[in-house]
Amino acid sequence: MKKFQVDLAHCQSYWEMHERFRQALDWPDFYGQNWSAFWDCLTGFMEVPAFIRITGVDSAGQDVRDSIPMIRKILQRAKTEYGDIDYMIESKAGL
């Protein structure tokens, strides 16, 4: 299983967050930095099986923290529908 870590510590913007995902998950340069593109890359461009660990959420900016429910929703959907992607979002604040 391929293991990935996405560090969102001190990430301040929606765009920076998407760029960190792109780099950490080795998605193509043409990644569209939106939720549809997130789904497409997650389910079409990732080496699987994969485990994605997301860290640094608690020190991220509000835009990033507000995006965590959507990230969780998309990751959970991929896990349920495909079964070869798992994830963990580390947050002491319960995000």
- Burial class of 17 by CB neighbour count within 10 A (0 to 12, 13 to 18, 19+): buried
Q: What pLDDT score was predicted for residue 94?
A: 78
**For residue 93, pLDDT beyond 90:** no
Q: What pLDDT score was predicted for residue 50?
A: 97
State the pTM of this model: 0.95
